[in-house]
Amino acid sequence: MASNAHRNGVPRGTAKLDRLVSAGANLRATSFKSRVPPSSQSPGSALRRSSPASLAARNGDGVPGRVRVAVRLRPRNAEEMVADADFADCVELQPEFKRLKLRKNNWDSDTYEFDEVFTEFASQKRVYEVVTKPVVESVLDGYNGTVMAYGQTGTGKTFTVGQLGEEDTSNRGIMVRSMEDILADLSPETDSVTVSYLQLYMETIQDLLNPANDNIPIVEDPRTGDVSLPGATLVEIRDQQSFLELLRVGEAHRFAANTKLNTESSRSHAILMVQVKRSVLESEDIPSNENNESSHLTKPSKPLVRKSKLVVVDLAGSERIHKSGSEGQMLEEAKSINLSLSALGKCINALAENSAHVPIRDSKLTRLLRDSFGGTARTSLIVTIGPSPRHRGETASTILFGQRAMKVENMLKIKEEFDYKSLARRFEVQVDKLIAENERQQKAFEAEVEKINLEAQSRIAEVERNFAEALEKERLKCQLEYMDSVKQLEHKLVLSQERHDCNGFADVHGEGPGPSSANEIFEVKRMLENETNRRKAAEEEVEILKIQLGNHSPTQAGGDMEILNLHRKLEEEAHQKKKLEEEIIILRSQLLQMTYEADQMRRCLESGGSVNEFSAVDSAMSQARSSQLRDNGNAQKESVANLFEQVGLQKILTLLESDDANVRIHAVKVVANLAAEEANQKRIVEAGGLTSLLMLLRRYEDETVRRVAAGAIANLAMNEANQELIMAEGGITLLSMTASDAEDSQTLRMVAGAIANLCGNEKLLMKLRSQGGIKALLGIVRCGHPDVLSQVARGIANFAKCESRASSQGLKSGRSFLVEDGALPWLVQNANNEAAPIRRHIELAICHLAQHEVNAKDMISGGALWELVRISRDCSREDIRNLARRTLNNSPTFKSELRRLRIEY
């Protein structure tokens, strides 16, 4: 008991108040510093970095931490309002100075200072925030922690510690609020939390979750001194609801009785043990070199397992037998309670006075709490008192217990173990990924080599066939020309003879032949003779060549030169013929187009249209060359169909390989227009049109050719069967190369559209990603044109949808390829784009990515969770809003993060 002259080192006298104010200010400053959490790491992270304090604690140095003590005053109850109506309260609180006065009589009182003083109006939340939350944060950082309530029977210990708050959530006690914070900070994938709920009744430890375990032994590790209860029930907690159910079961099995001091007096000490296991990463700095120059490099992080324990103790109330009226079994219970509390008080006195002997083994309660007082745990004690002057002695005893506990000093330490299993699993996953990637690359390389060989063989066979056909055509052409020349000469000879006969008839009548007719006849005869001689010479030369060809040997160099000359001449002739055919096809297409325009003008004039109407028709026809209008769409299709039938698809595809750039451009435009019609796509692919279009992307750097060819491929890619052919012939690789080289926005739009169509095929996901399709799409965003970005967003949405469907069917596991290739930052950045098509596709992509739980952590760290919440509230399309809401409700990771951030959705 403190003397009248001094209380906690504060002398009485005229300067007493000033010194109290100064002491109170210093104590508040010290208390505030001690309440700062030992780690500034933000909650919710799955893996934490070890802080310097934690390193010191783990290495055995320890971190000093005094037991923090708070006092809470219970409000008057109905009985005390009647019985103590004529008496003043024996307790006076000064919470602003963290000070308490215990009245001795009407003119004198004792003053005590605590770490915190709560009035009868203090809320449960404030008591938890000040007393318990620093301990919970220390437990999450790896330290052991203890929170204990001590006081007389009926002063509100169980209300403060164990109230469930089922009817009024604001009344939730320390146990419920502690578990809420622990669950919100842990990651369900890497961390775990288990709970035991016990009672110490009549010096026997009993399991409140399994009453059959009614005598659990205490086991102490002789090496470390750690206390364990091997027979206690351990329950793993995943959510708050299961924890509340566990507390209800435990409270139903706890011993309680009706006494004069409390209608539901706890007859046992309730002990809640929460064991937390979480994974952390430790990074070590490389030491400085010989020149004392520190290095900025760090060693690879070590995976560690950090184990900590939170013990929440609701002590049974101390009582005096003559006041509580206990008899029989209740009397024996009261004796046991008072003995265990007395043993606890002796241990605290010994620790406060730095005694050499601490009587830990006098009671099972002190053995269980050996780590809480003088051990390695961060401990907070809340003492509860009542306002009634009738119980001044019990109140004074409780206050002195708290004062002695404030002198106890603990050394906080962290228990960490190296996580070999986690590191081995991570390495196994990495090795499996590398093996699978190597096999994919090897297969892709072998397939590419095989495809190149087949393509080369087909090209060689085609060239040989074309050469043989060209040679035969040239031979026939020469024969036809020779026969035409002979016929012309014979015709001229007949005409000459007829004129000669006419001249002879005139000579008979006295007119001689004119000199011009004679010369002309002579000239015709000479030409006929020359032509006959040439024919004979050509026939002889052909016979000679046949003989030489039959007798040809490697040593006959002259014959080889002649054959080479003939081949060269044949090739030149074939080239000239090919150019003429190309010009004929172009002229035919232009003629068809001009015919179509003339028909339009004629119909307009026949209908009696004016000049303005004719101008309007002309304008419409010019627009029809770029886009099919509703009025003249059928006529234009008919024009293309006529060209298709008259010229032939094979000849049009042949023009794609023309040396003339204008011919090549015109031919690829015709093929692109044909590919726009679904009825023509199959014929184009069967005739080799797809291969020719891909060759254009491979060979030519002309921007117009590449743009139109990419557009034609995009049209063909709308058909699922064609999509597999495009992938099989290396189309995605060629499209990716075109995307990286092109700068024109229209070309990039066509390429992005083709890749977007391919992204909608579930069978092609792995091959599309391995050949650079996703990276090509993300590279196209450099253009910035809205039409281009719309196609990119559509492709990513198609890919995300197919991935989501494959994951739900069990065909794919692991993170999304889009997340691995870095698409998530672009999606988050453009989720609020002003262009509606871009925004809609990006919102769909985010919703589909969020449906797979393995992507949740990346989406939270990348800021996509905020966009998902916004979509569920503000999206203009109802189906997308509903999809976002359903995804948020089905994801445990998202729900935990939103609860931690206190966000309603």
Half-sphere exposure of 644 (CA within 13 A, CB side): 19
Q: Residue 65: in which H helix or E strand, if any? A: strand 63-66
Question: What pLDDT, in 10s, does the model give residues 113-127?
Answer: 999 999 999 999 999
243 backbone dihedrals φ, ψ, rounded to 5°: -70, -40
3-state helix, strand, coil in the chain (%, to 5): 60, 10, 25
- The distance in angstroms from the start CA to the end CA of the chain is 57
Question: What pLDDT, in 10s, does the model give residues 478-489?
Answer: 877 877 777 788
- Asked if residues 702 and 741 have their Cβ atoms less than 8 Å apart, the reply is no
Which tokens is 768 given? 């599309």
Portion of the chain with pLDDT greater than 90, in percent: 19
For residue 313, what pLDDT is reported?
A: 94
Nearest to 663 by CA among 599, 753, 554, 586: 586
Which tokens is 445 given? 């390389």
For residue 296, what pLDDT is reported?
A: 47
Residue 394 reports pLDDT greater than 50: yes
Residue 420 reports pLDDT greater than 90: no
Q: What is the mean pLDDT of the chain?
A: 76
Residue 630 reports pLDDT greater than 70: no
Return the residue matching tokens 């203009």. 876
Residue 33 reports pLDDT greater than 60: no
Secondary structure (3-state) at 305? strand
Which tokens is 415 given? 């228990």
Residue positions in the annotated binding site? 151-158
For residue 30, what pLDDT is reported?
A: 36
Helix axes 703-716, 689-699, angle to 10 degrees: 150
Residue positions in the annotated binding site for ATP? 151-158
Residues 6+ apart with CB under 8 A from 321: 331, 334
Question: What pLDDT, in 10s, does the model give residues 349-368?
Answer: 898 888 888 898 888 899 98
Residue 384 reports pLDDT greater than 90: yes
DSSP string, 28-43: HHHHHHHHS-S--PPT
For residue 871, what pLDDT is reported?
A: 87
Q: How many CB atoms lie within 10 A of CB 33?
A: 8
For residue 727, what pLDDT is reported?
A: 84
Identity of the residue numbered 453:
N
Q: Kindly indicate the confidence band of residue 300, based on its pLDDT and cuts at 50, 70 and 90.
A: low
Residue that wins the pLDDT comparison between 138 and 514: 138
For residues 582 and 586, give the distance between their C-alpha atoms in angstroms, rounded to a whole number. Answer: 6
- Asked if residues 116 and 98 have their Cβ atoms less than 8 Å apart, the reply is yes
Looking at mean pLDDT, say which of 228-232, 380-384, 741-745, 900-904 comes out highest: 380-384
Residue that wins the pLDDT comparison between 261 and 787: 787
Q: How many helices (H) and strands (E) does the chain have?
A: 35, 22
Question: What pLDDT, in 10s, does the model give residues 752-810?
Answer: 888 888 888 888 888 888 888 888 888 888 888 888 899 999 999 999 898 888 888 87
- Asked if residues 513 and 503 have their Cβ atoms less than 8 Å apart, the reply is yes
Residue 3 reports pLDDT greater than 50: no
Q: Kindly indicate the confidence band of residue 596, based on its pLDDT and cuts at 50, 70 and 90.
A: very low
Q: What is the arithmetic mean of pLDDT over 507-528?
A: 53
Q: Kindly indicate the confidence band of residue 500, based on its pLDDT and cuts at 50, 70 and 90.
A: low
Q: Kindly indicate the confidence band of residue 340, based on its pLDDT and cuts at 50, 70 and 90.
A: confident
From residue 738, alpha-carbon distances to 328, 699, 764, 795 in Å are: 94, 11, 20, 17
User: Per residue, what are the HEC states of 547-575?
Assistant: HHHHCCCCCCHHHHHHHHHHHHHHHHHHH
Q: What is the arithmetic mean of pLDDT over 7-17?
A: 33
- Asked if residues 308 and 144 have their Cβ atoms less than 8 Å apart, the reply is yes
For residues 338 and 462, give the distance between their C-alpha atoms in angstroms, rounded to a whole number. Answer: 105
Question: What pLDDT, in 10s, does the model give residues 682-739?
Answer: 878 887 888 888 888 777 667 788 888 888 888 888 888 888 888 888 888 888 888 8
Nearest to 640 by CA among 688, 599, 588: 588
Q: What length does the chain have?
A: 905
Looking at mean pLDDT, say which of 1-10, 48-57, 881-890 comes out highest: 881-890
For residue 481, what pLDDT is reported?
A: 81
Question: What pLDDT, in 10s, does the model give residues 816-848?
Answer: 888 888 888 998 888 888 888 888 898 898 998
Looking at residue 143, the DSSP 8-state letter turns out to be B
Q: How many CB atoms lie within 10 A of CB 285?
A: 11
Q: What is the arithmetic mean of pLDDT over 593-613?
A: 48
Portion of the chain with pLDDT greater than 70, in percent: 73
Residue 74 reports pLDDT greater than 80: yes
Looking at mean pLDDT, say which of 59-63, 569-573, 602-606 comes out highest: 569-573
Q: Kindly indicate the confidence band of residue 471, based on its pLDDT and cuts at 50, 70 and 90.
A: confident
Q: How many CB atoms lie within 10 A of CB 404?
A: 18
Looking at mean pLDDT, say which of 194-198, 266-270, 635-639 comes out highest: 194-198
Looking at residue 277, the DSSP 8-state letter turns out to be E
Residue that wins the pLDDT comparison between 453 and 616: 453
For residues 366 and 381, give the distance between their C-alpha atoms in angstroms, rounded to a whole number. Answer: 15
Residue 63 reports pLDDT greater than 50: yes
